[in-house]
Amino acid sequence: MKYIFILTIAVVVFTACKTGNGELQLTTSESILVDTIPGSCPYLTKDSKGNVLLSWVRSINDSSSIFCYAVSTDGKTFSAPVRIPTSTNIHPHAENLPKIIAKPSGELIALWGAANPNPKNKYSGLVFYSQSFDNGTTWSTAKQLTTDTASFDQRYYDVALLPDGEAGIIWLDNRKATTKEGSGLYFARTAGANGFQNEQRISQLCCQCCRTQLFIDTKGGIHAIYRGIINDSIRDMMHIVSTDNGKSFTEPIRISNDNWVLKGCPHTGPSMTENKTGLHFAWFTGAGKKGCYFTSSSNNGQSFAAADSVSSNGSHPQLTQLSNGTLLLVWDEAIQVNSKSYKRIAAQLRDEQGKNIGRTFLTADSTVASYPVLVALPSNKVLLAYTAKKAEKNYIRYTSIE
């Protein structure tokens, strides 16, 4: 196997102790550059064999990009980047994140957004996908997610493996059963090698420009979380679930009554995970004391614990469960150093019940690092990837957390 050029090597080690001010004691070294060519939009997932797939958008020049991914069999080193040749119409957007998913059948599906400006919405986009049935050697012609001509705006999607081994997808769509502001939330699933089929609207109204998450629990429940629009002006996080394999979904319930009144979109969506104590959520709000928050539900989303503040400066939170049930939460946050603006990646550990253990910062205060993503590995390890700026260009870096 060929390996990518590595500038520096990093290992981050968790310890169970924390200082008196709540800071975790972590040992951190330099991070790893996944590609020497500028890029953005990192995403992490695993295949059915437990291999890690790290995908990103590589910048060809100032006006064109292509979707790439690399594979790790050990959680430490990655293969040479694989280009997805059908993705040349990709429009990089860290919130409308390009993604790749590996089905147990061996099929790979790459998904990305493309611009589709029109008189109704100059920011509209379309979702395209391409399939590979030979481990990424060749890729099918790119297909549009939906062929319904009434749909001119499909964005902010998420994908997950369903209990039957097919891939599920949710996305925000202009099609809705009302003239009120907002998007509809749609769900579809793959049908073998035939791609995504049988789309259905499962909720509305949704904030038009925040990422969504599709999550499958250990009992096969299909969860969707998104930023909703309530009473035409409140933009809070909503949760719905299907317990009948996607045939029907519950009515939306707010994970927290933040009551954020906003005539716009913050471009920061929610995240969720599960352990034996229940469901756990992280999100950003600008209401009241703005910032990132955390909550849990022990009854499958029927009710939620009071919101617990994570960071008043944080945004773009991502949450995962370690193999021992502990929760790891990461986010990016703005910081001022000598009157200059930077961004850093922060991390917080929470116990199985969601109680805060402590936090630390994974990148230096004098860097610009943003949009962290996570994937859990065996033995309480986690792989973290993020976008880092150097000389006014973005690059993808990753590090392991033990």
Residue linked to tokens 């995504």: 196
Instruction: Give CA–CA dist 127/129, Å, rounded.
Output: 7
Report helix, strand or coil for 194. Answer: helix
pLDDT digits (tens, 9 = 90+) for 232-261: 999 999 999 999 999 999 999 999 999 999
pLDDT digits (tens, 9 = 90+) for 373-390: 999 999 888 999 999 999
Q: Which two tokens stand for residue 85?
A: 């040749």
pLDDT digits (tens, 9 = 90+) for 297-349: 999 999 999 999 999 999 999 999 999 999 999 999 999 999 999 999 999 99
Q: Which two tokens stand for residue 370?
A: 């943003």
Q: Which of 315, 293, 341 is nearest to 94 (CA)?
A: 315
Q: Which two tokens stand for residue 256?
A: 């927290």
> Per-residue pLDDT for 1 more than 70?
no
Average pLDDT, the chain: 92
pLDDT digits (tens, 9 = 90+) for 148-177: 999 999 999 999 999 999 999 999 999 999
Q: What was the pLDDT predicted at 264?
A: 86
> Per-residue pLDDT for 43 more than 50?
yes
Q: What was the pLDDT predicted at 401?
A: 85
CA distances to 55, 110, 132 from 141, rounded to whole Å, are: 19, 11, 10
User: For the whole model, what pTM was predicted?
Assistant: 0.93
Tell me the residue type at 248.
Answer: S
Backbone angles phi, psi at 194, to 5 degrees: -90, 5
Backbone angles phi, psi at 351, to 5 degrees: -75, -175
315, β-bridge pairs: 332
Average pLDDT estimate for 353-378: 95
Q: What was the pLDDT predicted at 22?
A: 60
Tell me the residue type at 165.
Answer: G
3-state secondary structure 36-89: CCCEEEEEEEECCCCCEEEEEEEECCCCCEEEEEEEECCCCCCECCEECHHHCC
Q: Which two tokens stand for residue 391?
A: 């000389």
